[in-house]
Amino acid sequence: MSTTKLFENQFIQQPQLRYEQTSALYASQFVISATGEEVIINFSSGTLTEPNNGETYLPIHTRIALSASGARKLVNLLSQALSATQITSVTTSKLHN
């Protein structure tokens, strides 16, 4: 475990990540349902067309249920990650011009 300094002379231990599955699934479509207590996110790679009748459908490959507070944390982390990506993209863009 690594440690992170919290305050002067105070440290917290960061847990080590251990990936139980190393495969990743791509998702470009999301279906979200929420109550006051939980948020369920359904992930899909995109729409498909049924060959027999031509109907379009959205196959869901993964579902994740989060508490309301967990969903808020996820929103904040995604926002931070996207902000960091924007800054990196702008910096990289300026370097190439």
pLDDT in tens, 27-43: 999 999 999 999 999 99
pLDDT in tens, 40-67: 999 999 999 999 999 999 999 999 999 9
Q: E-strand spans in 1-97? A: 2-7, 10-14, 29-34, 38-44, 48-49, 56-57, 62-67
Answer yes or no: is pLDDT of 97 > 90: no
Side chain identity at residue 38, one-letter code: E
Residue 12: its pLDDT value, please? Answer: 72
Question: Is the pTM above the cut of 0.75?
Answer: no
Measured CA to CA, the distance from residue 29 to residue 25 in angstroms comes to 12
Residue 4: its pLDDT value, please? Answer: 57
- Cβ atoms within 10 Å, residue 58: 13
